[in-house]
Amino acid sequence: MNDLAELTARMRTFTEERDWRRFHDLKSLTLALTGEVGEVAELVQWLPASAAEGDIDARLRERLGDELADVLLYLVRLADVVGVDLGAEATKKLATNESRFPVDGHRGVAPDRR
Protein backbone atom coordinates (compact mmCIF):
# COMPACT_ATOMS: atom_id res chain seq x y z
CA MET A 1 0.00 0.00 0.00
CA ASN A 2 1.82 3.11 -1.20
CA ASP A 3 -0.95 5.30 -2.54
CA LEU A 4 -1.24 8.66 -0.77
CA ALA A 5 -5.01 8.67 -1.01
CA GLU A 6 -5.21 5.28 0.66
CA LEU A 7 -2.79 6.35 3.40
CA THR A 8 -4.86 9.49 3.94
CA ALA A 9 -8.08 7.51 4.24
CA ARG A 10 -6.55 4.99 6.64
CA MET A 11 -5.07 7.75 8.80
CA ARG A 12 -8.46 9.47 8.89
CA THR A 13 -10.16 6.24 9.94
CA PHE A 14 -7.44 5.50 12.51
CA THR A 15 -7.96 8.95 14.01
CA GLU A 16 -11.74 8.88 14.02
CA GLU A 17 -11.94 5.40 15.53
CA ARG A 18 -9.91 6.65 18.49
CA ASP A 19 -11.70 9.99 18.76
CA TRP A 20 -8.42 11.80 18.23
CA ARG A 21 -9.67 14.31 15.63
CA ARG A 22 -9.90 16.97 18.31
CA PHE A 23 -6.14 16.64 18.91
CA HIS A 24 -5.23 16.88 15.24
CA ASP A 25 -5.14 20.64 14.75
CA LEU A 26 -2.69 22.49 12.51
CA LYS A 27 -0.30 23.42 15.32
CA SER A 28 -0.23 20.02 17.00
CA LEU A 29 0.28 18.07 13.79
CA THR A 30 2.99 20.46 12.64
CA LEU A 31 4.86 19.97 15.91
CA ALA A 32 4.37 16.20 15.76
CA LEU A 33 5.75 16.15 12.22
CA THR A 34 8.72 18.27 13.26
CA GLY A 35 9.38 15.94 16.18
CA GLU A 36 9.45 12.93 13.89
CA VAL A 37 11.86 14.68 11.51
CA GLY A 38 14.01 15.27 14.59
CA GLU A 39 13.93 11.54 15.32
CA VAL A 40 15.29 10.88 11.83
CA ALA A 41 18.02 13.46 12.40
CA GLU A 42 18.89 11.90 15.73
CA LEU A 43 19.59 8.57 14.03
CA VAL A 44 22.12 10.04 11.63
CA GLN A 45 23.55 12.96 13.56
CA TRP A 46 26.87 11.30 14.38
CA LEU A 47 27.40 9.44 11.14
CA PRO A 48 30.40 10.74 9.22
CA ALA A 49 29.43 13.24 6.53
CA SER A 50 30.86 10.84 3.98
CA ALA A 51 28.51 8.01 5.02
CA ALA A 52 26.72 6.50 2.06
CA GLU A 53 23.95 3.96 1.66
CA GLY A 54 26.51 1.17 1.97
CA ASP A 55 27.48 2.40 5.44
CA ILE A 56 23.95 1.98 6.81
CA ASP A 57 23.60 -1.33 8.60
CA ALA A 58 20.39 -3.33 8.75
CA ARG A 59 19.44 -2.10 12.22
CA LEU A 60 19.86 1.56 11.29
CA ARG A 61 17.95 1.03 8.04
CA GLU A 62 15.09 -0.53 10.00
CA ARG A 63 15.01 2.35 12.46
CA LEU A 64 15.18 4.90 9.62
CA GLY A 65 12.26 3.16 7.95
CA ASP A 66 10.25 3.35 11.15
CA GLU A 67 10.91 7.05 11.68
CA LEU A 68 10.46 7.98 8.01
CA ALA A 69 7.10 6.22 8.14
CA ASP A 70 6.16 8.39 11.14
CA VAL A 71 7.14 11.48 9.13
CA LEU A 72 5.06 10.41 6.15
CA LEU A 73 2.01 9.52 8.22
CA TYR A 74 2.01 12.85 10.09
CA LEU A 75 2.61 14.68 6.81
CA VAL A 76 -0.30 12.89 5.16
CA ARG A 77 -2.53 13.57 8.17
CA LEU A 78 -1.55 17.25 8.31
CA ALA A 79 -2.28 17.71 4.62
CA ASP A 80 -5.67 16.05 5.07
CA VAL A 81 -6.63 18.21 8.05
CA VAL A 82 -5.82 21.44 6.19
CA GLY A 83 -7.43 20.28 2.96
CA VAL A 84 -4.29 20.03 0.85
CA ASP A 85 -4.11 17.42 -1.93
CA LEU A 86 -0.56 16.36 -1.14
CA GLY A 87 -0.06 14.29 -4.28
CA ALA A 88 -1.28 17.08 -6.54
CA GLU A 89 0.77 19.70 -4.73
CA ALA A 90 3.92 17.58 -4.82
CA THR A 91 3.43 16.92 -8.52
CA LYS A 92 2.95 20.65 -9.15
CA LYS A 93 6.02 21.50 -7.09
CA LEU A 94 8.16 18.96 -8.90
CA ALA A 95 7.10 20.44 -12.24
CA THR A 96 8.03 23.91 -10.94
CA ASN A 97 11.44 22.64 -9.84
CA GLU A 98 12.00 20.92 -13.19
CA SER A 99 11.42 24.28 -14.91
CA ARG A 100 13.40 26.25 -12.35
CA PHE A 101 16.43 23.94 -12.50
CA PRO A 102 16.74 22.69 -16.07
CA VAL A 103 19.30 19.92 -16.56
CA ASP A 104 21.38 22.20 -18.79
CA GLY A 105 23.17 24.52 -16.40
CA HIS A 106 22.29 22.62 -13.23
CA ARG A 107 23.61 19.10 -13.74
CA GLY A 108 26.07 18.35 -10.92
CA VAL A 109 25.76 21.88 -9.51
CA ALA A 110 24.27 22.39 -6.05
CA PRO A 111 21.24 24.72 -6.10
CA ASP A 112 21.89 28.19 -4.74
CA ARG A 113 19.57 30.94 -3.56
CA ARG A 114 19.70 33.13 -6.67
Residues that bind Mg ion (CB under 5 A): 36, 39, 67, 70
Minimal distance, residue 65 CB to Mg ion, in Å: 11
For 68, residues 6+ apart whose C-beta sits below 8 A from its C-beta are: 40
Q: Which is nearer to Mg ion, 70 or 85 (CB)?
A: 70
74 in Cβ contact with 33 (< 8 Å): yes
Minimal distance, residue 36 CB to Mg ion, in Å: 5
83 half-sphere exposure, CB direction, 13 A CA radius: 0
Q: Which is nearer to Mg ion, 56 or 87 (CB)?
A: 56
Q: Which is nearer to Mg ion, 36 or 80 (CB)?
A: 36
Q: What does the alpha-carbon distance between residue 15 and residue 7 come to, in Å, rounded to a whole number?
A: 12
Minimal distance, residue 104 CB to Mg ion, in Å: 41
- Closest to 114 measured CA to CA, from 34, 105, 25: 105
Q: Which is nearer to Mg ion, 39 or 85 (CB)?
A: 39
For 9, residues 6+ apart whose C-beta sits below 8 A from its C-beta are: none
Minimal distance, residue 72 CB to Mg ion, in Å: 11
